[in-house]
């Protein structure tokens, strides 16, 4: 009797419908590592190229088709037949899994989103994707209430609360919540940067960083703030920005209670309590809390300034400094003081300014007790006690505590006087000199002696005058 060598048509109803949580959507839909066990079977006609059910040795025809024959119970100790997809060697007792595997290798994406047109290999991935459009987030964290589209995202998130970091770097010992984060981190040690910008050649560890970088060249800013109209190249940047308007700061420091709008800012802040500075400069040994601060610092040694202003050509070490600078040209000052109405380009400028109204001076000198509004003012001040003058003039060797003083000083050698009086044409090296000078024309004398009432144009003149009364 002849054996029937043709495989029977698989029955769609034999494959159970998958549960949503069994199929957490991977970071890329094409990854074969995250395929579910119970993916729904496609029509029977797709199966002829993938499997054959006969247990007899096959003719040379089958070998020409590059199809492996299943063997009953192989590797599982059961009577279930094992099917193998020959392109990658994937084995399963469920033919439906191999159907999905085949689609991955052939790049076949049968399921399309009706909202945006994006296509998927698996129906379950499409179902998960549509929740982005509907805003549905069925999985909620019992600890903080944050909601997620996928169960897997909730599981990963919960490790933040438990502190669990099961994946450890063999090179430096740093631990990670997700295996994918460890893989990405490992590229720091290997120096691997597989993603390259076609415009400027700059290379990146992650494709997401490349995508974000390319928007610098295109100027594309798709996401707009409904409150102030400021535009952003990334949705995440808009989400972060919107917290400025809402005042939302969900992340709190357990040590000092300071709150943050971003979790990463909290993580960075906690290192100020522990004193941890894991990133060290190979040139001068200076250490940093954040890797980005180290990268920026290194450019001070190399002189590299990769970010250039399209309006005036001025170059910057950091992209954020360029973004801030461009607001000078546009006149944009999105941050306004509620007390006096003064506008600021940067939020930090507003925060510092408000301390003038409150009188708050949180930074105190350990040597003399003098207090300051800004930490940088304290750092500069302490150099008076230490005698440190890190900035030196290349022309005459004179040294300065502040770089700004050096920049002003070098204009003496160059003869550069960029600030001109509109009344008499007299020119000045620095802006403050012009401001003081214009008071001669206006007759303004804002500084008054408390002892005799005499008034002065400059504060320094008042200080000199008061010595007459004190006999100093």
Domain 419-470 has CATH 3.30.930.10: no
Pick the CATH number of 137-190 from 3.30.160.60, 3.40.50.300, 3.40.50.720, 2.40.30.30: 3.30.160.60
The residue among 104 and 257 whose pLDDT is bigger is 257
Q: Is 317 helix (H, G, I), strand (E, B) or coil?
A: coil
Per residue in 421-461, pLDDT tens?
999 999 988 788 888 899 889 988 888 999 999 998 888 88
Q: Is 455 helix (H, G, I), strand (E, B) or coil?
A: strand
The ranges assigned to domains in the chain are 38-50+82-136, 137-190, 277-354, 361-414, 419-470
Six-digit token pair at 282?
A: 């190979």
Six-digit token pair at 358?
A: 């409150």
Residues 159, 165: Cα–Cα separation, whole Å: 7
pLDDT at 303: 79
- For residue 135, the Cα-to-chain-centroid distance in whole angstroms is 23
Q: What average pLDDT score do residues 14-43 get?
A: 39
Per residue in 405-420, pLDDT tens?
888 888 889 888 888 8
361-414 falls under which CATH superfamily? Classic Zinc Finger (3.30.160.60)
pLDDT at 92: 55
pLDDT band (50, 70, 90) for residue 465? very high
38-50+82-136 falls under which CATH superfamily? Classic Zinc Finger (3.30.160.60)
pLDDT at 70: 42
pLDDT at 102: 61
Q: What average pLDDT score do residues 350-364 get?
A: 87
pLDDT at 256: 85
Residues 81, 94: Cα–Cα separation, whole Å: 8
Confirm whether 137-190 and 419-470 share one CATH topology.
yes
The answer to whether residue 29 scores a pLDDT higher than 70 is no
Domain 277-354 adopts which CATH fold?
Answer: Double Stranded RNA Binding Domain (3.30.160)
Q: Where are the beta strands (DSSP E) in 348-467?
A: 363-364, 371-372, 391-392, 399-400, 419-420, 427-428, 447-448, 455-456
Residues forming a β-bridge with 283: none
């Amino acid at each position: 009797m002849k054996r029937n060598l043709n495989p029977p048509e698989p029955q769609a109803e034999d494959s159970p419908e998958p549960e949503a949580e069994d199929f957490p959507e991977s970071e890329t839909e094409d990854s074969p590592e995250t395929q579910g066990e119970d993916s729904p079977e496609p029509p029977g006609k797709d199966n002829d190229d993938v499997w054959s059910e006969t247990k007899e040795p096959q003719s040379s025809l089958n070998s020409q088709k590059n199809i492996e024959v299943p063997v009953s119970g192989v590797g599982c100790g059961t009577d279930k037949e094992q099917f193998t997809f020959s392109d990658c060697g994937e084995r399963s007792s469920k033919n439906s899994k191999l159907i999905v595997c085949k689609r991955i290798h052939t790049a076949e994406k049968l399921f399309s989103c009706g909202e945006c047109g994006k296509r998927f290999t698996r129906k379950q991935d499409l179902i998960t994707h549509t929740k982005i459009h509907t805003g549905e987030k069925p999985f909620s964290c019992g600890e903080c209430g944050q909601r997620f589209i996928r169960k897997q995202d909730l599981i990963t998130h919960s490790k933040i609360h438990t502190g669990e970091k099961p994946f450890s770097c063999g090179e430096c010992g740093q631990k990670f919540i997700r295996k994918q984060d460890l893989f990405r981190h490992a590229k720091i040690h290997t120096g691997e940067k597989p993603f390259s910008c076609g415009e400027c050649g700059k290379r990146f560890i992650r494709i997401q960083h490349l995508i974000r970088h390319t928007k610098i060249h295109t100027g594309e800013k798709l996401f707009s703030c409904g409150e102030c109209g400021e535009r952003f190249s990334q949705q995440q940047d808009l989400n972060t920005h919107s917290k400025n308007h809402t005042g939302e700061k969900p992340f709190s420091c357990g040590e000092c209670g300071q709150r943050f709008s971003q979790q990463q800012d909290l993580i960075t802040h906690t290192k100020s309590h522990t004193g941890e500075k894991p990133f060290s400069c190979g040139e001068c040994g200076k250490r940093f809390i954040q890797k980005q601060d180290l990268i920026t610092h290194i450019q001070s040694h190399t002189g590299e300034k990769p970010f250039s202003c399209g309006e005036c050509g001025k170059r910057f070490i950091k992209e954020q400094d360029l973004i801030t600078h461009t607001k000078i040209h546009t006149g944009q000052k999105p941050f306004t003081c509620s007390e006096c109405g003064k506008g600021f380009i940067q939020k930090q400028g507003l925060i510092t300014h408000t301390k003038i109204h409150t009188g708050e001076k949180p930074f105190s000198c350990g040597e003399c007790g003098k207090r300051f509004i800004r930490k940088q003012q304290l750092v500069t001040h302490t150099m008076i006690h230490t005698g440190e003058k890190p900035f030196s003039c290349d022309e005459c060797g004179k040294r300065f505590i502040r770089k700004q003083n050096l920049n002003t000083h070098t204009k003496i050698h160059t003869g550069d006087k960029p600030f001109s009086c509109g009344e008499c044409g007299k020119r000045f090296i620095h802006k403050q000199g012009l401001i003081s000078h214009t008071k001669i024309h206006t007759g303004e004398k804002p500084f008054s002696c408390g002892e005799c009432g005499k008034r002065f144009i400059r504060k320094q003149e008042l200080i000199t005058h008061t010595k007459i009364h004190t006999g100093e």
